[in-house]
Structure 1
């Protein structure tokens, strides 16, 4: 409940199959609305929580829902917007990827005016490639009156038997944010063998004890994959090799646990239920049932935010909103991209020499040019040369989709909708 006795309501976008939703529910939040594109994930949400209002469709389509309908009513705007634009294994197209909704989600803060924002994505968004993108996000939130911080959280630090690093953005009004503390880690997570032994031995497999003893580590990051490639397997070659060293055949999923005297060249395959356990679902606090065929169930599970991590974040956010913690001194805002800031604050063109004089730590000319080139992947950069004078640069608009009716995202999205996940 809020400090005034009100329920903390959450509006969740790109809700997936409910990993984040379940965790936030366990933290005490009440769902006002969930919006999700994938029909299979929507089926799972409605199967598990028939009383939730779940809308199926493109979250950025005004015909699907209207964010302004919820203005001032929401404690938390949350979501796990698509990861492929930022994933290290992908092309890292960022603002140029039709699936990118991160910047759009940030713009909804101005419309919905939630008390807090929670967005999570892959660790790739924390890399230098996206420094300018992150700086733009923080600057926009500041313009809206919110303080914000990013942090990489590993699911294994919160009881999940899997590394699974996620890049998390939390934002609140400054007065509330003073009471926000990132959740404390909770110690050693259980191993794959400890978590999966009950399921692996359920059909009387004689090798279950030896297998559980061998799988005495946490799992590699579960990769659900996208509709653009592949079926139900445990990820790229490097991940499959790591699974193989643990005694798991990562090339496909099984329909059921092994039986009796089954013998394997590499080891048994995991079932969808086993993968769900490795994501933090269980038969008690985080019980959940996934609907659909095996491949669609696996994608729902593999692309989810682990419920235990969502829960500890939800508890920390609720504590800040309710001001049940001690206030803290916030660190000065981290500068993610000083060059972006310098160009953003100037209306005219700047040469490399001028930019270098404006930064705290001067860089070699070739490094500055490289950094500007990287910025150019997410922002329009105007280049000017007057006679023999050196090149000069000016920052143009952000390439990301923010809700513009004429953005190229619409055409790309319509063309790729059957393969977007």
Structure 2
């Protein structure tokens, strides 16, 4: 493929970066908050322009200098949408998803690629997703969401990621999501040679036991202690593979270790499960101490998945393949009918009017629950008249670049704990 250009925000340690490079994209810029991850990017690609700091800080970079880039890509922070967290969405100071959409409007790239956790695909964020799609449409982009699992792209791990792709309306007809085929590689097959590298006689038996794909690697955050492979449920799943998930090892077991020893994974092994592989085109070096290396790896977008999506985008931009009817590309992503009714209204609506416009009968308790959920991301004005309450959608709560948004103060206070 001919070389296309990309600006990557929230680049991390390079999972998406490497995948997009292999898909034919040349990095004009990579921006990353974490100094350790930025050091890894520079170690692997010394010629890249890597900026360290808050991606929304005008002192770090000027988006206007990169107008017209072929692709704007990023793995914006996951905690606002994570099922394991509070799912604060637009109320989380780390939420940059809607801001990245506005950034696309400012930079006017030919395509946009954003990936996040599975939680963003849940009903809780149906209105948030519709807000994003509506805004992209206003900016002249066709967009689509899809839940992709790493195991369907040659990676021996579940790792579902919710991916948004947007292209200019005149180029979207050439886009098609990459084909998926579940990998047959198991954890044991992927890691056998690494586990046997120091002469451990139990490596072959261990590999037979680890005869499935891995659960999702959890990168953790700076709020917690050392590296481990996730919460209690994840640790129990790893135990079934014959892996001690309470920490990360410095090296593989040696020749003097008993056959029935339960090993811990090394950071190199975790990287292999994430899709990196020494001695191949997916070779990559991670810098820093063990815990920081593990977090860089665990929080990454697997390179083979990023490559597959990147190649699909590249083919669309180069207009190769079959031209399609855009309507046939739309995924069946559930959106919020109550939000749609409120957004379309020019005057306040009663509960009965909202439910009628939403196309179905909703019980009072369910209506209240869904309105409360909407109010977490949107400003909804309530008014009472003649014992009847009315509702009107007034705006989006999230950060989209406002100079006076409370996100700036909260972010400054918590920056040292953000990862």
Q: TM-score, normalised by structure 2?
A: 0.97
Whether the 8 Å CA contact 2:7–2:30 is kept in 1: the answer is yes
Other-structure match for 2:174: 179
Counterparts of 2:395 and 2:184, CA distance in 1: 45
CA contact (8 A) 1:207 1:261 kept: no
Counterpart position of 1:158: 153
Distance 2:114 2:70 in 1: 14
Residue of structure 1 in register with 2:85 after alignment: 90
Q: Which residue pairs with 1:127 in the alignment?
A: 122
Does the 8 A contact of 1:248 with 1:266 survive in 2?
no
- Per-residue CA deviations over 1:172-207 (Å, capped at 9, x if unaligned) read 012211111111013434100001011100000010
Superposition deviation, residue 266 in structure 1: 6.6
* Structure 1: 4+ residue segments shifted above 6 A: none
Equivalent residue for 2:233, pick from 230, 238, 249 = 238
Q: Give the counterpart of 2:57 among 58, 61, 66.
A: 61
- Specify which of 272, 276, 279 is matched with residue 281 of structure 1: 276
Q: Give the alignment of 1:91-240 within 5 angstroms.
A: 91-240=86-235
2:73 maps to 1:75: no
Structure 1 unaligned regions, length at least 5? none
Are the aligned partners of 1:58 and 1:64 in contact in 2 as well (CA < 8 Å)?
A: yes
Q: Quote the residue 1:27 is aligned against.
A: 23
Is 1:258 the counterpart of 2:256? The answer is no
Per-residue deviation at 1:335? 5.8
Counterpart in the other structure of 2:364: 365
User: 2-side partners of 1:297 and 1:61: how far apart?
Assistant: 26
User: 2 CA distance for matches of 1:11 and 1:338?
Assistant: 35
Of the candidates 316, 319, 326, which is equivalent to residue 322 of structure 2? 326
Q: State whether residues 160 and 189 of structure 1, in contact with CA within 8 Å, keep that contact through their aligned partners in structure 2.
A: no
CA contact (8 A) 2:123 2:334 kept: no
Question: Greater shift after overlay, 342-351 or 298-307?
Answer: 342-351
Partner of 1:392: 390
Aligned residue pair count: 415
1:55-88, Cα deviation, whole Å (9 max, x unpaired)? 001000111111111112x111000000011000
Distance 1:144 1:87 in 2: 28
SS at 1:55 equivalent: strand
RMSD over equivalenced CA pairs, Å: 1.3
Q: 1:154 to 1:67 in 2, by over 3 A?
A: same
For 1:145 and 1:385, locate their aligned partners in 2 and report how far apart those are by CA, in whole Å: 38
